[in-house]
Amino acid sequence: MATLSVSHLSKHFRIYKKEAGLAGSIRSFFKRTYETSKAVDDISFSIEQGELVGFIGPNGAGKTTTLKCLSGLIYPTSGEINVLGYTPFDRNHEYLRSISLVMGQKSQLWWDLPAMESYLLYKEMYDIPEMHFKKTLDELVTLLDLKEILHVQVRKLSLGQRMKCELVAQLLHSPKILFLDEPTIGLDIVMQQKIRSFVREYNKKYNATIILTSHYMDDVKELCKRIIIINHGRILYDGSLDAVVSKHTQLKKISIIFEKPTTQDELEKRGKILSFDGINATLEVNKDKVAAVTGYILSQYSVIDLTIEEPQIEEIISGIFSSSKV
């Protein structure tokens, strides 16, 4: 049995639409107009213990709504959810002790107190035994290198330091399932890498099941073997990241630096010219013709440098969103 399973989950919101201006306000007293927004629209998937799954999609795709349904924060309109044998929106105490939801844009720490004060509060809230609390806290503080800032007011910490402290607060009770909603949002490159390293180590050390949403594709590439792509509330793809990249990388880019100025007449016959200035050229070529094209270029021209590039994963995912097909 899967650790987490979702069957035909839907979450619809009734949205009030008001016309602009005083006249619109007056009319709304007598007749209100509503429309239904399908934030999540009949999705199904399952996740096994220890999996680290990327849950990706553009703004408004339904990612956060899905995580809120899985964590029991909101009721679904229809469908079934089973997590660790529990129905999330029953808000069973044992279930809540087994999960954690980390939202990069929401703070769980007391702003004017040191993080350590919040940790002691969480210890009592989750009824964590003293020895377990100390052991877990020491491990997390070491993994995230937080020893020097535990007793500093949260409002005096940098964004990256606060995010790491937030992670500790949500992991003190050793959850079996971790929902990470944009954990690296707003962080610089160095801090993003540190958070990724921590998530990877936590997943391996505790065999925790993790669902990660992120707009940073580096998060997904470095952490997730499996991805679920969602758009307009519906799942477009559920499977291997490598498989979807392989399927959608039919074209490759060949970048050339010529030793002396040349014309583009012959190059146009070999592929689509993306850029050309006489010395530098970039061609887009079908992947099964790359060897023949590069061989021709190297035999016919004096070349200083030639590189072959795969499309960026951001371009691939963006194309999937645009076409709504995988």
The C-alpha angle with vertex 221 and arms to 215 and 224, in degrees rounded to 5, equals: 95
Integer Cα distance of 320 and 326 in angstroms = 6
Supply the DSSP symbol for 4.
Answer: E
The β-bridge relationship of strands 280-286 and 251-258 is antiparallel
Q: What is the pLDDT of residue 116?
A: 94
CATH, range 4-245: 3.40.50.300
326/259 Cα distance (integer angstroms): 41
> What does each C-alpha distance from 62 to 37, 47, 91, 239, 310 come to in angstroms?
11, 18, 22, 18, 29
Residue whose C-alpha is closest to residue 253's, from 292, 217, 218, 281 = 281
DSSP characters for 181-202? ESTTTT--HHHHHHHHHHHHHH
- Sign of the Cα torsion 161, 162, 167, 172 reads positive
What b/e readout covers 260-275, taking b as 16+ CB neighbours within 10 angstroms? eebeeeebeebbeeee
φ, ψ (nearest 5 deg) of residue 307 = -130, 150
Instruction: Provide the phi-psi class of 168: left if phi over 0, else alpha when psi is between -120 and 50, else beta.
Output: alpha
Cβ proximity of 28 and 19 under 8 Å = yes
Return phi, psi of residue 73, to 5°: -75, -30
Cα 222 to Cα 102, 198, 199, 212: the distances in Å are: 19, 12, 10, 12
- Write down the pLDDT at residue 128: 92
Distance CA 238, CA 5 (A): 13
Among candidates 228, 226, 245, which has minimal Cα distance to 237?
228
Per-residue model confidence as pLDDT tens digits over 159-185 = 888 888 988 999 999 899 999 998 888
Tokens of 102: 């980390």
What per-residue confidence (pLDDT) applies to 100?
92
Residues in the chain with pLDDT values less than 70: 1, 24, 312, 314, 322-326
Closest CA to 222 of 207, 212, 231, 235: 212
- Is residue 119 within 8 Å of residue 149, measured between CB atoms? no
Tokens standing for residue 54: 């990327």
Give the start-to-end residue ranges of the domains of the chain: 4-245, 250-309
CATH of the domain spanning 250-309, picked from 3.40.630.10, 3.10.20.30, 3.30.70.1150, 1.10.1760.20: 3.30.70.1150
SS3 230: strand
In the prediction, which pLDDT does 188 show? 81
